[in-house]
Chains A and B, each alone.
Chain A
Amino acid sequence: MGSRSRLRFILRRLLHTGVTVWLVASIVFLMFRLIPGDPAAMLVDATFPSSLRLEILQRFGLDQPLHVQYVAYLANLARGDLGWSFFYNRPVTDIIGGALVNTLVLALSSFLVAYGLGIAGGVVLAWKRKTRIDTYGTLLALVFRASPAFWTGMLALMLFSYRLDWLPHAGLRTPGYAAAGLLGKYLSYDFLVHLTLPTLVMGLYYVGYPMLLVRNTMLEVFGEEFIEFARARGLSEWRVMFVHALRNALLPVVTAATVFLGLALGGQIVVEYTFSWPGLGREIVLATQHRDYPVAQAMFLVLAAGISLMNLLADLLYPYLDPRVRAHA
């Protein structure tokens, strides 16, 4: 594929992603306004006097017809203005920054656990195929995938936080802990201790997929000639497995990994709630409890944009990872 057609491919995918985000934004707009009942009731406390109610409606443009609201909404989005939080009484953008960082930190650390353990475990399962290790290892991977993360999170809290008192049970930091600079904020011992349990719970929840994926792709690679050849050269089985077979089985894993990061953004909502981790997901839950719809709407949109970006990344990476795709595109 020439550099011009590659550029065209990238531009087309960028356009697709932009359209997707616009459509999600429109769906969110409609969802919050076309629901049964008075949409204003969602935004204004019913006990407010009618003059105050009208003032609030005017302030947020809710007395305007729907299409005017929609245009204003899109214009504000384009300017990066996500609205005003009723509960915090601050611009929504102020709340998003910190929550987004916290969500990404947790997603990345659990990604490392899931894919580190998953890839190594998958190689072992394929290596020991048709033995008890393979059978029970596969069953274990299935059980991890089937266990809701909030439940394993509760069990982990019960055991490690409340009974053994090894790890903290909630939040990012010990209350009163003053972080010194950005480094102290996210690399301090205190923060890492708080990160441990949610990371392990999330990581184990997602470990099954890469594990089974690596195992099955490796089993397919085993039939190839270069594996026979590596063995014939007298390389150790360890080397054949982890260097020759694994390297050729990694492609689907990389694609799955980008998709994983997108999924994890939305999926870790229950883990964030269980461990009171102040990320995007927990903010959405709190916002629905407070009826703080501008926040719920904005957080949802940020998550959807994140997932679209990850899907875009998967599409753009693929031709670079697999020359066969590049040749066909």
Chain B
Amino acid sequence: MTPPSLELTSPPPAARRRPRLADGLRAVIRDRATAVGAVILTVFVLIALLAPHLATHDPWALNRGPDGAIAVLEPPSARHWLGTTNLGRDVFSQVVIGSRAAILVGFLAAFMNTLVGTNVALLAGYYGGWFDELVMRLVDLIYAVPFVPFAIILVSLIGPSLWTVIIAIVLLFWRSPARVIRAQILSLRERPYVRAARVAGASPLRIIYAHIAPNVLPLSALYMTISVGWAIVTESSVSFLGLGDPQVISWGGMLHLAFTTGAVQYAWWWVLPPGLCIVLLVVSSYLVGRSIEEFANPRLRDLV
């Protein structure tokens, strides 16, 4: 087997002309690592959609063994594919249902934060002046806020729910796409075709959304893909620290219970699967992001 290509630096030959969707699709198919990432992402989305049908047990049920006693901390078996928790709950079913929280938070937070970041960047970059200055100072300010501490304090103040986590992510993460896309717009707004549109009497909003925005879409797509991974890790961190929604099964919440009940000492079947799922999802979002990076082809390094 030839190893998947993970080349970062060489720009695609198509980068010289304006990139089209077909180029992107071709790049996706050509690049094996991207294909692997895209397949893993799709599989997880399908699992999340079909979760109730895939789960072998009710994830909340306290399962009993053949002798009638609650099946506490059983290693994997034919009855419980990934063993049971300290309360006899089925780990496999919990992992399957837990994919819903991860996918929901990951995609929704990533989408909203890219939407906010891109729009703020478009307006600030195009109009410039005091508005731009204000936005950039705000971005600087947000860069000084420690992320996970902010999220857990917000959750502990407002109350634990997936929505609070999503709000925390969007409040802080729009800074990265905003900063990079704004820099791109500063150069785009001086291009001849933008000037031509202005002279032709196009309204500012039309120039921004019809002429400039299409050029930064690949960048936005890149940030969105990468934010999926960040959002999932953030949600699981908050849940792991015991601040997740107790009514929702999430991978971080599973790890929180495995940790606080002391099962971490030996119950590998409870600890390994949720973590592996997080790693797989985040790696695949990076892999897809990297091929978009080649496609968008700006010099991007600071993806924090």
Contacts and interface: CB of A to CB of B under 8 A. Distances in A.
Interface string A208-220: 0100110110011
Interface stretch (B12-20, B79-87, B124-132, B260-268): B260-268
Given A148-B233, A151-B255, A259-B304, A139 B140 contact: no
Interface residues of A, number: 64
Contacts of A215: 8
Interface in A131-162: 132, 134-136, 138-139, 142-143, 145-148, 150-152, 154-155, 157-158, 162
Given A150-B255, A158-B265, A142 B140 contact: no
Interface of B: 3-9, 140-141, 143-150, 152-154, 156-158, 229, 233, 236-237, 240-243, 252, 255, 258-259, 264-266, 268, 271-272, 274-275, 278-279, 282-283, 286-287, 301, 304
A274 B259 contact: yes
A10 interface: no
A35 B156 CA distance: 11
A269 interface: yes
- Which residue of B144, B148, B279 has the most chain A CB atoms within 10 A of its CB atom? B144
B215 to A, nearest CB: 24
A146 to B, nearest CB: 4
B250 to A, nearest CB: 12
Nearest 4 CB-CB pairings of A with B? A266-B146, A151-B275, A146-B282, A288-B156
A299 interface: yes
A216 B8 contact: yes
Contacts of B141: 20, 23-24
A305 B9 CA distance: 36
A155 B275 contact: yes
Contact of A35 (B158, B252, B272): B158
Main SS at interface, chain B: helix
B268 A304 contact: no
Given A148-B240, A154-B255, 6 more contacts: A150-B237, A213-B301, A266-B148, A269-B241, A270-B148, A307-B145
A212 B229 CA distance: 18
B146 A288 contact: no
Contact of A304 (B144, B240, B265, B266): B144
5 contacts: A138-B6, A281-B148, A300-B150, A300-B153, A311-B143
B240 A163 contact: no
Given A154-B271, A219-B9, A303-B146, A146 B229 contact: yes
A231 B119 CA distance: 49
Given A35-B158, A148-B240, A263-B304, A155 B146 contact: no
A299 B240 CA distance: 20
A265 B8 CA distance: 29
Nearest to B8: A216
B241 A273 contact: yes
Contacts of B152: 269, 284-285, 288
Contacts of B278: 146-148, 151
A36 B157 CA distance: 8
B239 to A, nearest CB: 10
A148 B286 contact: no
A209 B229 CA distance: 15
